[in-house]
Structure 1
Amino acid sequence: MSPHYWQKSSYCQEGDACVHISAAPTTVRIADAEPPRNVLTVSVVAFEALLDLVKSPDGR
């Protein structure tokens, strides 16, 4: 099993209020801390849809 390389969000605040992302060819892992305690794994397609939704002007 290959190691996961975690990247901290550029919008991170002080302390543990951060989101960490680890991308693989077909999945994206989203964690609440490093080392990750709670990890959500989604497909790349689902993650891209989430980003599109977040970036949309009305959030829909």
Structure 2
Amino acid sequence: MTELHWQKSSYCEAGSTCIHLASAPAREIHLRESATPYATVITTVTRLHRLLARIKGGDLDH
């Protein structure tokens, strides 16, 4: 298994919980939160891009 190199979100403030991302073979993106680093979500670049576009577009606001 390839070791992942995690990168902390640039929006993270010191002392707060943060989102970490790591890329893997086959264009997979691994996501985790610093408060629960053992729980990882795996997605693709395309799906992550679509999610971020919807978030930025306000499609997921309540």
| TM-score > 0.5, shorter chain as reference | yes
Number of equivalenced pairs:
58
Return 5+ residue gaps in structure 1 as ranges.
none
Q: Give the CA deviation at 1:33.
A: 1.6
**Letter of the structure 1 residue corresponding to residue 55 of structure 2:** V
Q: CA deviation at 1:43?
A: 1.6
Match of 1:38, SS state, is strand
- SS of residue in 2 equivalent to 1:23: strand
The runs of at least 4 aligned residues of structure 1 exceeding 6 Å deviation read: none
Q: Which residue of 1 aligns with 2:14?
A: 14
What TM-score does the superposition give when structure 1 sets the normalisation length? Answer: 0.77
Identity of aligned residues (%): 31
- What is the root-mean-square deviation of aligned Cα atoms in Å? 2.1
- The corresponding residue for 2:27 is 26
Is 1:2 paired with 2:2? Answer: yes
Give the structure with the larger helix fraction: 2
